[in-house]
Structure 1
Amino acid sequence: MKCGVAFGAILTALAVQLATAAEDIDYLIQSCNDSVQGITEDHKARYRLNEFPDDPVTHCFVRCIGMTLSLYDDEKGADLHANWEHLGKVVDEAEFVTAHRACLDERNLETIEDPCDRAYVAFQCLKKEYGMDRIDNDTDRR
């Protein structure tokens, strides 16, 4: 009986987390819909599946998400401390920042003129942590 109750509690907690994640992405889609031109229903469906393809609309959507959540800014780039906190502080902060700073530095972001492209390329360093690694694209090689 205790196992059944514990299992039920775990399923309830997971359902709440999934519902919250779905609400979060819907909020972000709604928030960014006006500022990002060209978001189609197909884009929205893919974003809800945590798929962020390498296309100009998605680049701007990723930038909007980062700016809306204060995880990214055009002048300073990805705020690694804020991302670490947003991800739940699951690893040591210094280790997280060092690893991701090296990745960001390798991408030569300062040479990318378009702010949407720059944000998308920056978040390629964090895509695994955010579960955005479902789409294989050439951006990883930049």
Structure 2
Amino acid sequence: MKFLLVLVLIPACVWADHEHGHHDMSYVVKSHDDLVTYRHFCAEKVHASAELVEQYKKWQYPDDAVTRCYMECVFEKFGFYDPEHGFDVHKVHVQLSGAGSTVDHNDETHQKIAHCAETHSKEADSCSRAYHAGMCFMNANLRLVQHSVQV
């Protein structure tokens, strides 16, 4: 189950749009139960097959239309991705740090999140932006993300 939480949190971290200043410092860190609820909702919303859902549980996210929109949906439900504005890097960073943690938005983690979000901010559609930014962050920081969500 921790893997599922990490899955949702990692890509979310990638999509913060800190340049637009739409971050909200009152962001409430979401729980594992929230993640489970979001995963079920989003799998149904995008009509993900049982096979795809099983792949997601194993950290396997194929680059297909269903998976891209599934990831976008989960990030939206977490409250740190918006199709119009992209990711709120600050919220992603707070989520990864966990409830009650002090977050230094000038640290290396924040910069990595911002880099991935910015690198993919010009993709043609929202699902692709969310997916590719999330994969960027996961591929570059998987160990860090796994550690940061072990609550």
User: For the superposition of Structure 1 and Structure 2, which TM-score range results when normalised by the shorter chain?
Assistant: 0.5 to 0.7
Distance 1:19 1:83, change over 3 A: closer
Q: Which amino acid aligns with 2:41?
A: S
Percent of aligned positions that are identical: 25
Counterpart among 37, 40, 50 of residue 30 in structure 1? 40
- Is the contact made by 2:38 and 2:74 (CA closer than 8 Å) also made in structure 1? yes
> Using the alignment, how far apart are the partners of 2:145 and 2:59 within structure 1?
9
> 2:90, 2:105 within 8 Å by CA — same for their partners in 1?
yes
Residue 23 of structure 1 deviates from its aligned partner by: 5.0
Query: Which runs of 5 or more structure 1 residues have no equivalent in the other structure?
Result: 1-16, 132-142
Deviation at residue 25 of structure 1 after TM alignment: 4.8
Structure 1 residue 72, shift from structure 2 partner:
0.9
Aligned length: 112
Report the residue type matching 1:78 in the other structure: F
The TM-score normalised by the length of structure 2 is 0.60
Higher Rg = 1
Contact 1:77/1:122 (8 A) holds in 2: no
Number of the residue aligned with 1:64: 73
1:1-142 pair list within 5 angstroms: 18=2, 21=5, 25-37=35-47, 39-88=48-97, 92-95=104-107, 96-107=109-120, 109-110=121-122, 112-127=123-138, 128=142, 129-130=144-145
**Divergent runs of 4+, >4 A:** 17-25
Hey, what's the Cα distance between the residues in 2 that align with 1:31 and 1:121? Answer: 21
Secondary structure of 1:34's aligned partner: helix
Which structure has the higher relative contact order (CA within 8 Å, separation 6+)?
2
Gaps of 5+ in 2: 6-31, 147-151
